[in-house]
Amino acid sequence: MSDPSLHSLAAKLASGQGSPLPSPGTRVSSLEELVRALREDESTLAFVDHHALPQLSRIGATLPPNIIGVATETLASAVAWLQPYPWLSHVVSASTLDHPMATWHFENLVTSFEAGGKPRLLDWLGPEVAGRRIRLAKSNKRVERLERMTDFLGEKGVSGRTIQQLRDAAEELLTNAFYDAPVSAGAFDEAISRTLDVTLPDNLACDLAYGCRDDLAIVRVKDPFGSLTRKRLTDVLMRCSRTDMGVEVDESMGGAGLGMWKVFSVASFVAISVVAHRHTEILVGVAKRAPGPKPFAFHLFFSEGAKPRSWTAFNDETVQQASLNNSVLLAVKAR
């Protein structure tokens, strides 16, 4: 890293002193040396700043996934890296590196890389997190489940502000799972009303988990569609991070995408794992405040899946005749 404000971090990593990161680091002398080190040991994490990113792009070689961009500016600036650097999937703020959760956070990243880029994000929580896990097949049960989540986190001593942030995040993720993801997966030809009651097959229900420990509260949602793409996510975040908030509505999904930007904005970290046509899993964590700037981080794991599922939708009459008061059942066509 060449940014002067990050030299102290490089010194910490090199000495192994005063750093919350899992193991001592080495400061490489060239980008070629960095890439070589990454290829020799898949558990290595490489931290690079905004000066190094364009230089890495010019190397001309296939870059390994475990390169982490370190952002010293705003979340909007960090999100802006995703389009010019399509190989970059992991970004953390400089404040994350000094945050008490850093060791736990980067150990989970190493485990995810060792899993071949298809992590089970539920494993990030570990046994120290007290929580609940629920399968949710009906969209009209969202509010009831979110009320239970609110009560649970409140009983565990989580602050009201954090609970509201996680509730808003969970509502956004569940709404995406029941209404946006099926459209992208081809179950509907166009955007559907959020008042339509959507029911998923029991064996392919949404998987909701939430919990907390002393320094962290989380919510995680997994859907059975795997229809979120990196391009879609990047386009939404780029559009919504505009400072003038002149956001155009995306008619294809029935919304502007502001909800996802708000999730990224309030979170201490967001991890997204998508196996195409099989599942989208999103984990949102809000950490207890520590001295220094608020940390942020996002981690993207996109991989190919099996053949696409062939979804179909029907109700008592027909999908085309579905009104605002109708319900619709989604099913997978037999091949």
CA distances to 180, 235, 245, 271, 292 from 248, rounded to whole Å, are 17, 12, 9, 26, 34
C-alpha 16/C-alpha 11 separation (Å) is: 8
Tokens 């990224």 sit on residue: 264
In this model, does residue 12 exceed pLDDT 70?
no
Higher pLDDT, 235 or 315: 235
pLDDT, tens digit (0-9, with 9 covering 90-100), for 184-216:
999 998 888 888 999 999 999 999 999 999 999
What pLDDT score was predicted for residue 2?
Answer: 55
What pLDDT score was predicted for residue 76?
Answer: 94
Looking at the chain, the whole-number percentage of residues with pLDDT higher than 70 is: 82
User: Hey, what domains does the chain have and what are their CATH numbers?
Assistant: 1-97 (no CATH), 128-332 (3.30.565.10)
DSSP code for 21 = S
In three-state secondary structure terms, 45 is coil
What pLDDT score was predicted for residue 100?
Answer: 87
pLDDT, tens digit (0-9, with 9 covering 90-100), for 138-166:
999 999 999 999 999 999 999 999 999 99
pLDDT, tens digit (0-9, with 9 covering 90-100), for 280-327:
999 999 999 888 889 999 999 999 877 889 998 887 555 445 444 588
What pLDDT score was predicted for residue 6?
Answer: 56
What pLDDT score was predicted for residue 313?
Answer: 87
What pLDDT score was predicted for residue 230?
Answer: 95
Looking at the chain, the whole-number percentage of residues with pLDDT higher than 90 is: 53
Mean pLDDT value across residues 75-100: 92
Mean pLDDT of the chain: 84
pLDDT, tens digit (0-9, with 9 covering 90-100), for 245-292:
444 444 444 444 688 999 999 999 999 999 999 999 999 999 998 888
C-alpha 155/C-alpha 151 separation (Å) is: 6
Amino acid occupying residue 290: A
Residue 43 — very low, low, confident or very high, per pLDDT cuts 50/70/90?
low
In DSSP notation, 127-152 reads TT-EEEEEEE-BGGGHHHHHHHHHHH
Residue 21 — very low, low, confident or very high, per pLDDT cuts 50/70/90?
low
- The answer to whether 207 and 221 have CB atoms below 8 angstroms apart is yes
In this model, does residue 226 exceed pLDDT 90?
yes
Tokens 């970290």 sit on residue: 269
Judged by average pLDDT, the poorest of 67-81, 119-133, 149-163, 248-262 is 248-262
C-alpha 149/C-alpha 126 separation (Å) is: 19
In three-state secondary structure terms, 92 is strand
- The answer to whether 216 and 287 have CB atoms below 8 angstroms apart is yes
What pLDDT score was predicted for residue 308?
Answer: 86
